């Protein structure tokens, strides 16, 4: 995997060397995790073997929680949440984590990792739409242009899925729906009045999500439980340590130390890395719709996130 070059921050934001390194590593790890997840639930292309998707995700989160706990504690953030605010945390967990993690792992199993990445990272576009229609935020003309470009990219991918007998249009639509729900959750989180540090809320949301996913895996997949093969075990370990350990902590660090727009820059390269790392490592065939969607999505996100 070649090193990724982090995009320049918006005017007025100065990144320290440490922040720049964290931003590049975060972008790379989240980007290449799409083919890693594909291996985790579908096996290697040379030896395909479906693994229970909820079990894969639950194992990754449970094994990653101690790493995340150490990372959050190293920032000296108190984790206690008053009992009266637990219902609010539960309401934030459903759209911000639970729906996304359940839907996306089934979507990756049904679709290529690159296509899943493109569809999943329409989330910033839905943030703009939810802000406008639900919360009354005003959108500039360039932001409406970004929404239109993202919609065209999604339609291109869905149309290609419908033209193939082995396609999975409902999986593609499900990922887009999960991105929209995550966008709603992002607004809810930003407007949350729970009087505790955001890092504590995110940690306990991860705990709650891990518990629910474990129960779902026990209920629906326990008859298919088996010891994971080495490629699947490696994918679980990568997600546990790198994604739910390092990447989650890295995102929290950037979100805490940078303005929201600057910390959101990393999402612009993630779907691109997802597409091309899937082609390189898994031999996924890229269609013209994928190339066009990459251009449209990156352009759309750039238009929506671009600072004045």
CB-CB neighbours of 134 under 10 Å: 12
Other beta carbons within 10 Å of 48: 9
Position 3 in a domain: no
In a domain, 134, yes or no: yes
pLDDT band at 266 (very low <50, low <70, confident <90, very high): low
Evaluate whether 272 touches 121 at the Cβ level (below 8 Å): no
Q: What pLDDT digit, counting tens, does each position of 112-163 carry?
A: 898 898 888 788 778 888 888 888 888 778 778 878 888 888 888 777 766 6
Q: Is residue 9 part of a domain?
A: no
Give 3's Cβ-side CA count (13 Å radius): 5
* First-residue to last-residue Cα distance in the chain: 34
DSSP string, 21-72: HHHHHHHHHHHHHHHHHHHHHHEETTEE----HHHHHHHHHHHHHHHHHHHH
Judge whether 129 lies within some domain: yes
User: Which pair of tokens denotes residue 166?
Assistant: 């082995």
Tell me, yes or no, whether 238 lies in a domain.
yes
In a domain, 11, yes or no: no
Q: Is residue 159 part of a domain?
A: yes
What's the pTM?
0.84
- For the chain, the domain total comes to 1
- 111 domain residue, yes or no: yes
**pLDDT above 90 coverage of the chain, percent:** 37
Do 247 and 29 meet the contact criterion of CB atoms below 8 Å apart?
Answer: yes
The residue segments making up the domain with residue 102 are: 17-44+51-305
The number of angstroms, rounded, from the C-alpha of 131 to the middle of its chain's C-alpha atoms is 20
By the 10 Å C-beta count (0-12 exposed, 13-18 middle, 19+ buried), 191 is classed as exposed
Q: Is the pLDDT of residue 178 over 90?
A: yes
Least confident of 3-7, 16-20, 100-104, 242-246: 3-7
What 3-state class would DSSP assign to 13? Answer: coil
Residue with tokens 């990792």: 113
H-run or E-run covering 282: helix 270-282
CB atoms inside a 10 Å sphere around CB 70: 11
**Statement: residue 238 has pLDDT above 90:** yes
pLDDT in tens, 60-96: 999 999 988 887 888 788 999 999 999 999 999 999 8
Given a cut of 70, whether residue 164 has pLDDT beyond it is no
- Report how far residue 66's alpha carbon sits from residue 69's, in angstroms, rounded to the nearest whole number: 5
- CB atoms under 10 Å from CB of 127, counted, come to 23
In this structure, what are the phi and psi dihedrals at residue 194, rounded to the nearest 5 degrees? Answer: -65, 120
Q: Please give the pLDDT value at position 15.
A: 67
């Amino acid at each position: 995997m070649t090193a990724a070059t982090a995009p320049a921050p918006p005017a007025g934001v100065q990144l320290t060397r440490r922040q720049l390194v964290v931003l590049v590593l975060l972008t790379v790890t989240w980007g290449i995790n799409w083919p890693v997840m594909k291996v985790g639930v579908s096996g290697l292309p040379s030896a395909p073997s479906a693994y229970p998707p909820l079990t894969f995700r639950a194992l990754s989160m449970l094994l990653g929680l101690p790493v995340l706990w150490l990372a959050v504690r190293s920032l000296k953030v108190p984790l206690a949440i008053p009992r009266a605010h637990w219902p609010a945390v539960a309401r934030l967990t459903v759209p911000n984590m639970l729906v996304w993690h359940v839907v996306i792992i089934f979507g990756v199993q049904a679709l290529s990792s690159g296509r899943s990445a493109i569809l999943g990272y329409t989330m910033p576009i839905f943030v703009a739409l939810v802000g406008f229609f639900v919360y009354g935020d005003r959108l500039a003309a360039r932001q409406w242009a970004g929404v239109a470009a993202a919609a065209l990219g999604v339609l291109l991918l869905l149309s290609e899925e419908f033209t193939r007998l082995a396609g999975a249009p409902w999986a593609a639509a499900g990922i887009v729906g999960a991105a929209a729900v995550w966008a709603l959750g992002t607004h809810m989180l930003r407007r949350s009045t729970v009087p505790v540090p955001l890092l504590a809320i995110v940690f306990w949301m991860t705990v709650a999500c891990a518990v629910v996913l474990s129960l779902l895996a026990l209920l629906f997949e326990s008859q298919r439980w088996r010891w994971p093969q080495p490629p699947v075990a490696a994918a679980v370990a990568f997600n546990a340590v790198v994604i739910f350990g390092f990447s989650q902590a890295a995102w929290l660090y950037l979100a805490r130390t940078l303005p929201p727009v600057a910390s959101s820059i990393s999402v612009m390269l993630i779907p691109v890395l997802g597409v091309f790392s899937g082609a390189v490592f898994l031999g996924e065939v890229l269609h013209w719709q994928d190339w066009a969607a990459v251009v449209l999505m990156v352009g759309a996100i750039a238009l929506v996130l671009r600072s004045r």
